[in-house]
Amino acid sequence: MEVDNTETAKRAYHFLKSYKSLKKLANLRDTPGTFETKAIEMVKMIDSYSSSLDEKKRGIFYNLFIVAQKQKHTLKETL
């Protein structure tokens, strides 16, 4: 069976662009894997960035990148 490198790259990108998948992969400590180190690095970077945001921006960031579509929180507008 021949490996389709383009399709493999697409699937890897699709997997890694999901925060939930990154967290899952990053938590597989002591499991050898190609993406484990990069996943850990990316999760730390995302967590660091989101913790530096104010509450309103953190809510927006959370809805855009962290939570699944069905679980989005309604943001209250403050004037």
- pLDDT, residue 11, reads 66
Residues 32/21, Cβ–Cβ less than 8 Å: no
pLDDT in tens, 2-52: 656 676 666 666 666 677 777 777 777 666 665 667 777 777 887 888 888
**Which alpha helices (H) appear in the chain, and where do they start and end?**
5-16, 19-26, 36-51, 55-61
Q: What is the pLDDT of residue 67?
A: 67
Q: Considering only CA atoms, which of 5, 42, 39 is closest in space to residue 24? A: 39
Query: Contact at 8 Å (CB) between 26 and 39?
Result: yes
Instruction: Tell me the CA distances in angstroms from 77 to 4, 21, 55, 64, 65, one per residue in order.
Output: 48, 30, 12, 17, 20
